[in-house]
Amino acid sequence: MPLLARELLNVGMSPDALPSAALVALTGVHLSFGGGGNGELKVLDGIDLVIPRGEFLAVLGPSGCGKSTLLRLVAGLLSPTAGSISWSEGLIERRPSRMAMNFQKPVLLPWLSLEQNALLPFNLAKSEFDKGMAEAKERLERLLQLTGLEPFRHYLPHELSGGMQMRAALVRTLIVQPDLVLMDEPFAAIDELTREGLGRDFRSIVARSDAGTIFVTHSIHEAAFLADRVVILSPRPSRILADLAVPLPGGERDISQRRNDVYLDFCDSLREIIANG
Amino acid sequence: MADSRQDLLKGFSLGLRTGAATVTNIALAVAFIVALWWSIVAIFSLPTFLLPSPAEVALAFFHRPAFFLQHAQVTAYHAALGFIIGNSLGVALAIVLYRFTRIRTLTMPVLISFQAIPIVALAPILIVWFGTGMASKVVMASILCFFPIVINTLQAFSSIDRDYAELFDFYRANYAQKLKLLLFPASFTSIVAAMQISAGLAVVGTIVAELTGSDRGLGHVLLNTSFRFEIPSMFVAMVLSALLGIVFFNMPRVLRYVIPRSWKLGLV
Ligand SMILES: Nc1ncnc2c1ncn2[C@@H]1O[C@H](COP(=O)(O)OP(=O)(O)OP(=O)(O)O)[C@@H](O)[C@H]1O
Ligand SMILES: [Mg+2]
Output the CA B166–ligand 2 centroid distance in Å: 14
Say which residue, A247 or B10, is predicted with more confidence. Answer: A247
Structure confidence by residue, pLDDT tens digits, A56-107: 999 999 999 999 999 999 999 999 999 999 999 889 999 998 999 999 999 9
Does the pLDDT value for residue B73 go beyond 90? yes
Of the partner residues A96, A99, A158, the one whose CB lies closest to the CB of residue B268: A158
**Cα B235 from chain centroid?**
22
Of the partner residues A72, A113, A124, the one whose CB lies closest to the CB of residue B173: A124
Question: What phi, psi does B156 have (nearest 5°)?
Answer: -65, -45
What is the DSSP secondary-structure string of B92-130? HHHHHHHH-HHHHHHHHHHHHHHTTS-GGGGHHHHHHHH
Cβ neighbours, 10 Å, residue B43: 8
Average pLDDT, chain A: 87
Distance CA A24, CA A73 (A): 11
Collapsing DSSP to helix, strand or coil, A252 comes out as coil
- Cβ–Cβ under 8 Å, residues A120 and B170: no
Q: Which of the listed residues A30, A32, A33 should we mutate to test ligand 1's pocket, taking the one with most ligand atoms within 8 A of CB?
A: A33
Distance from CA of B108 to the nearest CA of A (A): 20
State residue A248's pLDDT score: 86
> Residue A6: pLDDT band by 50, 70, 90 thresholds?
very low
State residue B261's pLDDT score: 59
Tell me which residue has its CA closest to atom 10 in ligand 1.
Answer: A33
- Rg value, chain A, Cα: 19
Distance from CA of B182 to the nearest CA of A (A): 8
Percent of chain A, pLDDT > 70?
Answer: 91
What is the DSSP secondary-structure string of A200-250? HHHHHHHHHS--EEEEE-S-HHHHHHH-SEEEEEPSSSB-EEEEEE-SS-S
Angle at A4 between CA A2 and CA A8, to 5 degrees: 120
Tell me which residue has its CA closest to atom 17 in ligand 1.
Answer: A68
* Domain parsing of chain A, residue ranges: 2-91+183-276, 107-178
Mutation for testing the B interface, residue in A78, A109, A112, A180 having most B CBs under 10 Å: A109
Does the pLDDT value for residue A11 go beyond 50? no
Does the pLDDT value for residue A10 go beyond 90? no
Asked whether the CA dihedral A29, A30, A31, A36 is positive or negative, the reply is negative
Structure confidence by residue, pLDDT tens digits, B92-110: 999 999 999 888 889 888 8
Query: Which residues of A fall below an 8 Å CB-CB distance to B?
Result: 72, 75, 77, 95-96, 99, 101, 103, 105, 107, 109-113, 120-121, 123-125, 154, 156, 158
> Residue B79: pLDDT band by 50, 70, 90 thresholds?
very high
Of the partner residues B164, B168, B170, the one whose CB lies closest to the CB of residue A75: B170
Q: At what angle do helices B184-212 and B218-227 cross, to 10 degrees?
A: 30
Does the pLDDT value for residue B52 go beyond 70? yes
> Residue B8: pLDDT band by 50, 70, 90 thresholds?
low
Structure confidence by residue, pLDDT tens digits, A192-231: 888 888 888 889 888 888 899 999 999 999 999 999 999 9
Output the CA B224–ligand 2 centroid distance in Å: 70
The answer to whether the CB atoms of B171 and A112 lie below 8 A apart is no
State residue A16's pLDDT score: 53
> Residue A2: pLDDT band by 50, 70, 90 thresholds?
very low
Q: Which residues of A touch B184 (CB under 8 A)?
A: none
Q: Please indicate whether residue A64, judged by its CB atom, sits closer than 6 Å to ligand 1.
A: yes
| Per-residue burial over B23-41, b = 16 or more CB atoms within 10 Å of its CB, e = otherwise | eeeeeeeeeeebeebeeeb
Distance CA B58, CA A29 (A): 80
- Cβ–Cβ under 8 Å, residues A56 and A215: yes
Output the CA A30–ligand 1 centroid distance in Å: 14
Pairing of strands A212-216, A56-60: parallel
Question: B258's torsion region: left (phi>0), alpha (psi -120 to 50) or beta?
Answer: alpha
Q: Which fold has domain A2-91+183-276?
A: Rossmann fold (3.40.50)
Structure confidence by residue, pLDDT tens digits, B161-219: 999 999 999 999 999 999 989 999 899 889 999 999 999 999 999 999 999 999 999 99
State residue A213's pLDDT score: 95
- Cβ–Cβ under 8 Å, residues A246 and A227: yes
Percent of chain A, pLDDT > 90?
Answer: 58
Structure confidence by residue, pLDDT tens digits, A221-257: 999 999 999 999 999 889 999 999 988 888 888 888 8
> At A222, which amino acid appears?
E
Q: Evaluate whether ipTM surpasses 0.95.
A: no
The answer to whether the CB atoms of B262 and A101 lie below 8 A apart is no
